[in-house]
Structure 1
Amino acid sequence: MLRSGIMTVVFGFGYFLGVHDFGFFLLVQLVCGLFQSIGWPCVCVAVVGNWFGKSKRGLIMGVWNSHTSVGNIIGSVVASSVLGFGWGWSFVLPGGFIVIMGIVVYLFLVVSSENVGFELVGKEVEMNVEGVPLVGLEKVDSGEEGMVESENTDSLAAIGFLDAWRLPTVAGVHLSHKTAGILSTVFDIGGVIGGVLAGYISDMIEARAVTSVVFLLLSIPALIFYRIYGSISMFTNVRMMFLSGLLVNGPYSLITTAVAADLGTQSLVKGNSRALATVTAIIDGTGSVGVALSPLLAGYISTRGLNSVFFMLTVSISIAAMLLIQVVKTEI
């Protein structure tokens, strides 16, 4: 967290120092991504997994995983609120927050319940019904992991969230960077609810892959409807964006947290907490490959029209669902 925050601040300093070398920004982002990748498997899954057994893991991880969407919301609001002072502040301020929270985590994080004298009730080694490892799980990520800023020549007059809701139409209306940043948080708000809902359902039916596939399949018509009806009005756009975030983030939340914890605590690794971090890193790293490639692919495909991008998204979701079929059969 400290190094991630520092590298984010360094990226922002490129604005104040007048740096225009693409190689500088590329190098900073690569190093920052390296440091950021450590956090999810080690802390967000392995440490939390040390505190909870399987019985409520889906719900617990669903609630916990909402911090990614909350972070996206806060990050968008913070970054867009200072954009008027120069895009550099959109990196320096969040980077400073990360450094501060890194110090808080260093001082107060308790890695395991045993470290403070608690015995974890219901902690067990897990495997599927046939006693074999679960395989074939992929991470489905929204890909909203970064921000690309350009010189802003538009009016940056403030607009409230409710004011944005009351805009008469989204078709053909130019929105400022600040307004767009606020509206983009709707997807993450839906993601918070989707992650919690998917975790609760997976605990209730004891089938995480089945839950993930159902959410994935439902997200396909949601995206199609968003493309067709999203331009009718701002209210319709927000509703469809919220629904898409809910359905997309559900399986993402499950696979990167509860499913990773299940895989990392099966009998093959004998409940080794370090194995949990390694398994999570593999799953998260696989998803990061998609996060890195999908914007490039979307940018190329978008030259043929926005419909082609939505087609790419539905195909990607369909592939993700098919990769889970074998695990679904095992769970059923």
Structure 2
Amino acid sequence: MAPIPPGIRLLVSFDRDQWYRALTFVLTFLLYTSFHLSRKPISIVKSELHKNCSPLSELSTLASSSGSQEPSLPSRQTDMDCSWKPFDKGNYKQLLGAMDYSFLCAYAIGMYLSGIIGERLPIRLYLTVGMLTSGLFTCLFGLGYIYNIHSLGFYITVQVANGLVQTTGWPSVVTCIGNWFGKGRRGLIMGLWNSHTSVGNILGSLIAGYWVSSNWGLSFIVPGLIIAVMGVICFLFLIEHPNDLKSISAQKSSPGKSMQVQTKHWNGVNGHTEVYLQYKDNKAKAYYYYEDRIGYQSRKSYDTELLLPRDSVCVPVQPVVVVKNESEPSAISFMGALQIPGVIEFSLCLLFAKLVSYTFLFWLPLYITKAAHLDAKKAGDLSTLFDVGGIVGGIFAGVISDKLGKRATTCAVMLLLAAPTLYGFSMISQFGIGPTIGMLLVCGGLVNGPYSLITTAVSADLGTHKSLKGNAKALSTVTAIIDGTGSVGAALGPLLAGLLSAGGWDRVFYMLMTADFLALLLLLRLVTKELVSTKSHPISAVELKEH
């Protein structure tokens, strides 16, 4: 007999639950990757919506002066032709900032409602509808190029609608991953899983950058189609909770053919409908089954064998044990979620941390274009290094917080190091591409590390706080509150960047450093509590039960 290949041995070493857990991990990773993939194109296309037209103007002036001795004035028409109306005016930074603000403000407002709605609807259907509509509005933005639309109102309306429907993503995927993964190495697992943010940004930058110079409409249409296709995959394969598989197991499990089955229904107590079954096999042993909401649960009763008649008479079995009512837990209220210790502090901290991260997300390619004098495609490709650093930073933050058992302290240290690093980036980026690459990696790790940790492991810790008594229904609401508050900062950051950049990019970096220090101050109470405590568990964390 031939030996079994090592790859097959590895595959069969995992049980069914581990395979389903792996499927949920990979699927939710890809689903939210597509969300960020569809958000990134706007930052790449900005430098194409308003180009630096001075070289074209100079060439036009030289050409006209060589053919005529009369002095020629710089052509205003050339400036308007090389940019996309209405972003061809001097206030283009404010207009681009307004587009960012419209998306992020709608996202922040919708996020508070999304978590509450998501807990009351099937997550799979809720997420599918959100992804399909996100794909629709992303494509609509790109159609503005194809149909030559120059209305600012059109683009802002599409951005607002897209911001609202994209709020369906984060609470849904975090709830799914929280349902499937328990306490073990949560920081590491969620640090790896949360790299979907950076992976989506990298893919979005590369896809948008491929078409940005030739047809920027496709920079939106292709990501829109991708997220719509992923929405269909979500509908076909996403399993919200391990308990959802019990119905499949119950349908497959049936008594043996050698047993004679007789049933009689009786209305039980406390809302339970119990089905009394008597099975008589060749050994004359008696069995009974009873049905609960969660699924079919079987027991063998050999003690009642002598009490049951030998012929086929169906007798109701009187259980001597108390059956616990496994009723569906009720969803937590908004104010109830705010009362969980640590939710307010981490939410406000994320506000400033996400302000910094999203300012880089929306404005970094344009800054590289102006500072390093690169075209839109090269600037977009270079900006992906910030997200590469973010992947490493998120994983590093998760591993360190797992080992130390101190989530707030880990975030605080990284925030403390991020502020001077931002100042160094603003100085070094003017000395060429080489130093810029190194600083982009470092800044990405320090900026996105705390952001990643708070939105994943910390949210899961707080969503399973001991005061909730195991109610997993709170996870979506807590996640939405934390990420929704952070989205307020995500809306303010790009808007302030658009206003401050008119007076120079130095002001933007001072704003980012101030935000980092404020985020650090908001965690000081929790950091002090962690350092004083002798326990090694994360703040406000309890063990998430395996479902």
Alpha-carbon distance in 1 for matches of 2:167, 2:529: 31
1:26: which partner in 2?
Answer: 156
Distance 1:46 1:301, change over 3 A: same
Q: Does the alignment pair 1:105 with 2:105?
A: no
CA contact (8 A) 1:191 1:245 kept: yes
1:182: which partner in 2?
Answer: 381
Q: How far apart are residue 243 of structure 1 and its match?
A: 0.2
From 259, 265, 279, the equivalent of 2:464 is: 265
Q: Does the alignment pair 1:35 with 2:165?
A: yes
Q: How far apart are residue 28 of structure 1 and its match?
A: 1.0
- Count of residues paired in the alignment: 301
Greater CA deviation, 138-147 or 99-108?
138-147
Q: Which has the larger radius of gyration?
A: 2
1:46: which partner in 2?
Answer: 175
Q: Does the alignment pair 1:277 with 2:476?
A: yes
Alpha-carbon distance in 2 for matches of 1:303, 1:60: 42
- Higher RCO (CA-CA < 8 Å; seq separation 6+): 1
Q: Does the alignment pair 1:10 with 2:218?
A: no
Distance 1:257 1:173, change over 3 A: closer
Distance 1:40 1:313, change over 3 A: same
Which amino acid letter does the alignment assign opposite residue 466 of structure 2? S
CA contact (8 A) 1:170 1:233 kept: no
Could you tell me which runs of 5 or more consecutive residues in structure 1 were left unpaired when the two chains were aligned.
Answer: 119-131, 151-168
Superposed structure 1 runs of 4+ greater than 6 Å apart: 147-150, 169-172
Q: Does the residue aligned with 2:487 lie in a helix, a strand or coil?
A: helix
Percent of aligned pairs with the same amino acid: 49
Alpha-carbon distance in 2 for matches of 1:300, 1:171: 16
Q: How far apart are residue 148 of structure 1 and its match?
A: 11
CA contact (8 A) 1:171 1:232 kept: no
1:67: which partner in 2?
Answer: 196
CA contact (8 A) 2:371 2:429 kept: no
Could you tell me which runs of 5 or more consecutive residues in structure 2 were left unpaired when the two chains were aligned.
Answer: 1-130, 250-339, 532-547
CA contact (8 A) 1:66 1:195 kept: yes
2:25: which partner in 1?
Answer: none
Alpha-carbon distance in 2 for matches of 1:148, 1:61: 26
Alpha-carbon distance in 1 for matches of 2:140, 2:163: 13
From 237, 242, 245, the equivalent of 1:116 is: 245
Alpha-carbon distance in 1 for matches of 2:518, 2:365: 32
- TM-score (norm: length of structure 1): 0.85
Q: Which has the higher strand share?
A: 2
Distance 1:233 1:146, change over 3 A: closer
**Per-residue Cα deviation, 1:44-66 (whole angstroms, up to 9, x for no partner):** x1111112223311111110000
CA contact (8 A) 1:170 1:231 kept: no
Q: How far apart are residue 174 of structure 1 and its match?
A: 2.2
Alpha-carbon distance in 1 for matches of 2:182, 2:213: 47
Alpha-carbon distance in 2 for matches of 1:282, 1:91: 29
2:341: which partner in 1?
Answer: 133
Alpha-carbon distance in 2 for matches of 1:25, 1:60: 38
2:70: which partner in 1?
Answer: none
Q: Does the alignment pair 1:290 with 2:489?
A: yes
- TM-score (norm: length of structure 2): 0.53
**Per-residue Cα deviation, 1:207-261 (whole angstroms, up to 9, x for no partner):** 1110000111111121121122222231111000110000111100011111111
